[in-house]
Chain A
Amino acid sequence: MKKSLLISLLLFSLLISFSGCGRHSAPSSTATSKVPVIGMVLDKGGLGDESFNDSAYRGLKKAEKKFGNKMGVKLLESHSSADYYPNLQALAQSGCSIIFAVGYLMTDAVKQVAPQFPNTKFAIIDGVIPNLPNVASLTFKEQESSFLAGFLAGSMTRTKTVGFIGGEKSWLIKKFEAGYKAGVETANPKVRILVGFTGSFSNPSIGEEMALAQFSEGADIIYHAAGACGIGVIAAAKKKGKGYFAIGVDEDQDGLAPGRVLTSAEKHVNVAVYDTIQSFMKGKFTPGIHKYGLKNGGVGLSPMEYTKKDIPPKVLKLLAVYTKAISAGKIVVPETLSELKKFHPERLSLEKLTKEKSNSKKAKS
C-alpha cells in the first residue's frame, strides 16, 4: 500500500518534470544552432538594481528585439566576486560569440579569460583593457554630462554656491568632479563650489548628512556621483524643500523627488551595449577603447520632466548650444583636475551666436 503510493508519487513527479523539460528545452535548442549568441555577465547588483546592470540589460533586450531570430541571448548574474571568472568561462565554453562583462570590477577576470578563447569577443563596461585583440573596452565621457549639469547648476544658483558630493576619490569620480567644476566655471566663474566625498557608494544616510551640511553652508544645488549615497542627497533636497535642488547621476533620477531634482547626468550603458552588438552583427567588432560621450548618445542630461518649466528659456538654449559645441569637439571638457587647471571656459553667449549665425547666413547669401 505504502510502497505503491510512493512509487506513483515518484512517477507523477517525474512526469511533471519531464513535461516541463520538453517545453523548456525547445528554445535552448534553437539557441545552440548556428546563430551567434550574445552572453552577458552582470555584476553583483544584478537585475533590478535600477542602475547600470538594468541599463546594460535594456541594451541587450533592444538588440534582441531588433535582431530577433538572428541572435541568441545568455545571461548570468554574479553573486560574489568569485563568480566573475567561472561565469565568463562558462559563457565562452557554451559557445557565445560575444560576451559583455558589466562593470569594471570584472577587469581582472576578463584579462584572464579572454586569452583562453581567442575566437570569442569580449566587451567590458567601464573597465580599460587596451591591449587584447578580442576585448573592447566601453568607457564613458562622464565629464561631458557633468559639464552640462555644472553649467545648469552655475546658471541656476541663487546663493552663488553649489555643491558636489562624490562617492570615493577614485579616477572615475574625479571625472565627474572635473567636468562639473568646468561647467560651473563656464556658467559663472564667481560661483563657489563645495566638494565632499562620502567614502562609500552604499550608505544613503552619509549622503544626506553631507548634503544637509553643504546646504547649510550656503549651497542650493548639489550634484552627486555617489551611487546609493546620492539617494540621501536627493532626500536632503526634498527635506529642505523649495529653492533647493539635487542633481542625479547615471540614471534618470528626476522622479525620485519630483521638482527637487534639477536634472540627472545620465550614462547610457544601454546605448553602448546596443551599439556594440550592432557593430558585431555587422561584422565590424573593433577591439580597444571606445569612448561614449555626448556625440554618440553615451551620456546626456535627463529630459527634466518636472523642472523644465522653472528653468529660464535662455539657459535651456545655452545648454543646447554647449551640447552641440562639445559634440562637435569645439569644447574639450577636462577629464582630470590637472586638466581642469588648464581649462579656460569659453563663454558662448546667445547674442554672439545669433550674430554669428546671421553673419554666416549673410556671407552665404
Chain B
Amino acid sequence: MKKIAKEILLPISSIFLAFLVGAVIIKVSGRSPFLAYQSLLMGGFGSLGNLAQTCLFSIPLIFTGLSVALAYKCGLFNIGGEGQFLLGGLFAMAAAIYIHAPFIIHFPLCLLCGFAGGAVAGAIPGWLKARYGIHEVINTIMLNWICLNFVTYIVNGPMRSHSGLGTPEPLKTAVPPLIIPDSLIPGNQLNIGFIIAIIFVLLVGFYLSRTVQGYELKAVGLNPMAAEYGGISISKNIFLALCLAGGLSGLGGTFYYLGDLGRIPSTLSFPGYGFEGIAVALVGKLDPLGVFLASLLFGALESGGIFMQLNANVPKDLVTIIQGLVIIFVIAPGLVQSVFNWYRGKKEREGFEYS
C-alpha cells in the first residue's frame, strides 16, 4: 500500500509543481493565474460537453502512450509513434474508403487495418534491431519522416479527393459511432474509440502481467542476457514488442483520422501524438493504468486550454509549457526528490532545534 502511495506521489507532486511554475509564468506575463487555472479546470471538466471533449482528446494519447509503455517494458524506446500513427491512419482510411461492407464487419476491419498499418511501421525498426542490432531510437525517428512523406504522397496522389482537402471522407459504415447521443450533449464528438481505448488499457495490462508472452517480453527488457539464458529469445521479443507498439499507435491514428478529423488532410505534418505519447507514458510511470490517467490529464489540458485562451486570454502555448514542465519533473525524479529531502531535512533540523 505504502509503495503504491509513493508511486502516485511523484507524478502528483510533479503535476502540482508544474502548475506552480506555470502560475509564475502567467503572472509574469501580466495575466491572472487564478482565472487561467479556473478556466482550464472548467474547460477540462466543467460541463458534460467539455468532459466529452477531454475524453475525445485523450483517445489518441492513450494508444500512443500504451505503445511507448509496452515497448519500454521490453527495453525499447519507441520514438516512432508519429510514423506508426500516420501509417495506421492511412491503412484504416484506405479500408474505410474502398471496402464496402456492413458496419459490423467494416468497422472492425478498419481497426484491424489500422493496427496492421502501425505494426508494419513498427516491424521495420523491430526487424532491423532484432536482426542487425541497429538502435531502435535512430530507426524509429528516421522512419517517422519516411512515413510522413509516404502518407503525404498517397493522400495527395492516389487517394486524393476532388475537394482538395485530402482523402475522401470514410464511408458511413466505417466511422466510429458516437457514445453519447447528440440530444444529450449537443455537438459532442466523443466516439467509441474511448471505450475501445479503455479495453486496450486492460488488455495491455493483462498481457504484461498475466501472460507468458508478456512475462518473456518484460524479462528481455529487464535483463536480456539472463532472459536468453533462461531460454527466451531476445530477437523474437524485440520484434514482437515493436510490432505491437506500432499497432497500438496505429489504432490511435485510426480513431484520430476516422473519428476526429473525418479524413486525412492534404497538408500533413506530424500530428504530435506520437511524441506526446512518450510524455504520457513517462508521466504514467509506464503502467497501463497510469498511461490512461496521464492521457486524461493531457486531454483535459488540451480541452481546457481552449477555454483558458477564451476567458483568461492566456495563449494555448501555456498548455505546452505545463506539459513540458510536468515531463521535466516526472523524468527528473531527483529534482522532486531533492525538494522532498530538503523539506524533510529541514523538518528534522527544526525538530532537533526544538527538542
Contacts and interface: CB of A to CB of B under 8 A. Distances in A.
Interface of A: 1-2, 13-14, 16-18, 20-21, 23-25, 28, 44, 74-77, 79-83, 85-87, 89-91, 93-94, 104-105, 107-108, 113, 116, 168, 170-172, 199, 201-202
Given A2-B350, A80-B271, A172-B164, A17 B306 contact: no
B163 A107 contact: yes
Contacts of A25: 32, 35
B261 A81 contact: yes
Contact of A20 (B31, B156, B267): B31
A91 B256 CA distance: 23
B102 interface: no
What DSSP secondary structure best describes chain B's contact surface?
helix
Contacts of B347: 2
Given A81-B261, A85-B189, A105-B267, A18 B164 contact: no
A74 B310 contact: yes
Contacts of A81: 260-261, 265, 271
B303 interface: yes
A20 B33 contact: yes
27 contacts: A13-B23, A14-B34, A16-B33, A17-B32, A17-B35, A20-B27, A20-B32, A23-B32, A74-B310, A76-B310, A79-B302, A79-B316, A79-B319, A81-B261, A82-B57, A82-B260, A83-B306, A86-B303, A90-B310, A94-B310, A104-B164, A107-B163, A108-B261, A108-B262, A168-B156, A168-B266, A170-B164
Interface residues of B, number: 45
B240 to A, nearest CB: 31
A87 B307 CA distance: 9
B315 interface: yes
A94 B312 CA distance: 13
Interface string B337-355: 0000000001100100000
B310 A91 contact: yes
Nearest to A13: B23
Interface of B: 23, 27, 31-35, 49, 53, 57, 156, 163-165, 186-187, 189, 256, 260-263, 265-267, 269, 271-272, 302-303, 305-307, 309-313, 315-316, 319-320, 346-347, 350
Contact of B256 (A44, A82, A86, A89): A82
A80 B272 contact: yes
B265 A87 contact: no
Contact of B306 (A2, A18, A90): A90
Contacts of A13: 23
Contacts of B164: 104, 170-172
Contacts of A83: 302, 306
A207 to B, nearest CB: 16
Nearest to B273: A80
A104 to B, nearest CB: 7
Given A17-B33, A24-B313, A79-B316, A201 B267 contact: yes
Contacts of B27: 16-17, 20
Contacts of B271: 80-81
Given A108-B263, A170-B266, A20 B34 contact: yes
A52 to B, nearest CB: 13
Contacts of B57: 82
A28 B49 CA distance: 22
B191 to A, nearest CB: 12
Determine which residue in B33, B267, B305, B319 has the highest number of CB atoms from chain A within 10 A of its CB, and name it: B267
